[in-house]
């Protein structure tokens, strides 16, 4: 089949090749042999069939937040043109294409007083985020995004386009949600929305050189024991570099920040966060009632491409002493910049997925500990060594796929043994030749 004549195809050296493979993550280069700029499910079918016939590995990229390393020397399917969003307000669902970003969904749903279970950054791809589980801004109240999926359209390694529901193919449905990009290329999915039009939320920032970070951690952990499931929150710390690109008030500053999202009333929210405001003097306090379309301001994640490496561990109970040590080793005394974030889990995240189970692991975990390290001018091995020491402070139960930023090549701990075994059985059924090699250590042989 002459794909060049019929479809948008790029090879190394072609005009547009570099632009097509570029993404949000700039720290790792990928050099696929051929890139298919997919605009439809038929394009994806053609690309997968081509790769299977040629014996080439397949990677998929929507936004490039997480790079598909399996595309190296193989086939990369770029889905960013598949950006359709369709809201069914009566059913409280939205259908999204493979290249849709959460910001598009938030805006479309807001017109109907609804919200998706998106993450903190609106530039993240909705489909890939959901396939990894999807730990969002409202997670403790509503659970993982994967728990709300109704159906998926997926192209499997045999080139078949399958419409997968919990009733039609329950085992494949289970494995796609939590299994990531290991069993096929999802071209679209339908996911439930929640009746949320506004939230009370924002961030309280403390100067870590004026207010003891350990005191913030202890107060925050104690506070989380008192809040209802309608509160989703985290505490983060980083030393901003002294760079002219940053606002003067941030350059070189060490900030410890508590972030909060709450779906209750503003008055109830003010009462809930009162203990946080008593921790000490603040640099800023943005807690307020806001329309849900402003929920990205709670975390204010960087919206520009950059180079980074990150990972996470989940734990049952938070060892506050270990958390304090983590903040100390990544704070002003650290040689390089590190961003630390600790999320309270529990609530709906600890409950069964719903009518249909999925492969999202570690639902009994109470906390997520994350470390992300910028890579510009930094030795990757040195970053890995710091993160290994950091995570070694905790009695880890495992890791979460959504937060293995460029660390997806290290498969240990991404799944519990039973989930891994079940995923391997699915891999043997749907992709025995390991065409989709972004497999997180789960292959047809175990």
Residues 346-379: pLDDT tens digits?
999 999 887 789 999 999 999 999 999 998 777 8
Count helices and strands in the chain by DSSP H and E runs: 12, 17
- How big is the chain, counted in residues? 446
The two tokens of residue 313 are: 């561990």
> What span, in angstroms and rounded, lies between the C-alpha atoms of 44 and 33?
16
Mean pLDDT of 36-64: 95
Q: Which of 38-52, 222-236, 349-363 has the lowest mean pLDDT?
A: 349-363
**With 90 as the cut, is the pLDDT of residue 69 above it?**
no
Residue 103 and residue 120 in contact, taking contact as beta carbons nearer than 8 Å: no
- Residue 407 is predicted with a pLDDT of 65
pLDDT in tens, 104-146: 999 999 999 999 999 999 999 999 999 999 999 999 999 999 9
At 360 the three-state DSSP class reads coil
Residue 353 and residue 434 in contact, taking contact as beta carbons nearer than 8 Å: no
- Residue 239 is predicted with a pLDDT of 96
At 257 the three-state DSSP class reads strand
> What span, in angstroms and rounded, lies between the C-alpha atoms of 292 and 159?
39
Mean pLDDT of 9-34: 90
Q: Which of 50-59, 160-169, 403-412, 423-432 has the lowest mean pLDDT?
A: 403-412
pLDDT in tens, 237-295: 999 988 787 788 888 999 999 999 999 999 999 999 999 999 999 999 999 999 999 99
> What span, in angstroms and rounded, lies between the C-alpha atoms of 342 and 316?
13
> What span, in angstroms and rounded, lies between the C-alpha atoms of 428 and 266?
51
Beta bridge partners of 262: 200, 231
- Residue 1 is predicted with a pLDDT of 38
Q: Which helix (H) or strand (E) holds 391?
A: helix 380-391
- Residue 242 is predicted with a pLDDT of 85
Residue 211 and residue 254 in contact, taking contact as beta carbons nearer than 8 Å: no
**With 60 as the cut, is the pLDDT of residue 4 above it?**
no
> What span, in angstroms and rounded, lies between the C-alpha atoms of 181 and 61?
10
> What span, in angstroms and rounded, lies between the C-alpha atoms of 290 and 285?
14
**With 50 as the cut, is the pLDDT of residue 2 above it?**
no
Q: Say which residue, 66 or 166, is predicted with more confidence.
A: 166
């Amino acid at each position: 089949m002459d794909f060049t004549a019929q479809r948008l195809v790029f090879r190394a050296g072609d005009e547009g090749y570099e632009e097509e493979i570029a993404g949000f993550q700039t720290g790792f280069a990928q050099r696929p042999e051929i890139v298919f700029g997919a605009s439809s499910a038929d394009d994806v079918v053609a690309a997968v069939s081509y790769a299977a016939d040629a014996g080439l590995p397949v990677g998929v990229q929507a936004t490039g937040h997480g790079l598909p390393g399996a595309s190296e020397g193989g086939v990369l399917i770029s889905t960013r043109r598949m950006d359709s969003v369709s809201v069914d307000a009566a059913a409280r669902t939205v259908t999204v294409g493979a290249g849709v970003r959460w910001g598009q969904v938030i805006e479309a749903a807001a017109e109907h007083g609804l919200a998706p279970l998106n993450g903190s950054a609106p530039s993240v791809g909705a489909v890939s985020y959901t396939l990894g589980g999807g730990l969002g801004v409202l997670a403790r109240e509503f659970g993982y995004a994967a728990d709300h999926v109704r159906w998926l359209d997926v192209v499997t390694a045999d080139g078949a386009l399958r419409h997968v529901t919990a009733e039609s193919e329950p085992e494949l449905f289970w494995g796609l949600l939590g299994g990531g990009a290991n069993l096929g290329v999802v071209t679209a999915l339908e996911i439930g929305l929640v009746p949320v039009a506004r939230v009370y939320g924002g961030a309280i920032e403390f100067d870590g050189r004026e207010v003891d970070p350990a005191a913030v951690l202890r107060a925050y952990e104690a506070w989380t024991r008192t809040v209802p499931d309608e509160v989703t929150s985290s505490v983060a710390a980083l030393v901003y570099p002294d760079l002219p690109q940053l606002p003067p008030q941030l350059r070189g500053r060490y900030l410890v920040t508590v972030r909060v999202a709450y779906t209750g009333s503003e008055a109830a929210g003010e009462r809930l966060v009162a203990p946080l405001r008593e921790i000490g003097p603040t640099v800023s306090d943005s807690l307020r009632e806001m329309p849900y379309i402003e929920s990205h301001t709670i975390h204010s994640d960087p919206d520009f491409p950059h180079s980074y490496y990150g990972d996470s561990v989940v734990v049952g109970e938070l060892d506050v002493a270990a958390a304090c040590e983590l903040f100390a080793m990544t704070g002003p005394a650290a040689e390089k910049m590190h961003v630390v974030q600790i999320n309270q889990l529990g609530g709906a995240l600890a409950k069964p997925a719903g009518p249909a189970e999925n492969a999202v692991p570690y639902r009994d975990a109470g906390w997520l500990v994350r470390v992300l390290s910028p890579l510009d001018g930094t030795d990757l091995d040195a970053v890995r060594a710091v993160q290994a020491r950091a995570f070694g402070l905790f009695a880890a139960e495992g890791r979460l796929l959504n937060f293995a930023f460029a660390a997806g090549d290290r498969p240990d701990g991404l799944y519990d043994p039973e989930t891994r075994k079940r995923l391997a059985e699915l891999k043997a059924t749907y992709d025995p030749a390991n065409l989709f090699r972004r497999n997180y250590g789960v292959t047809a042989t175990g």
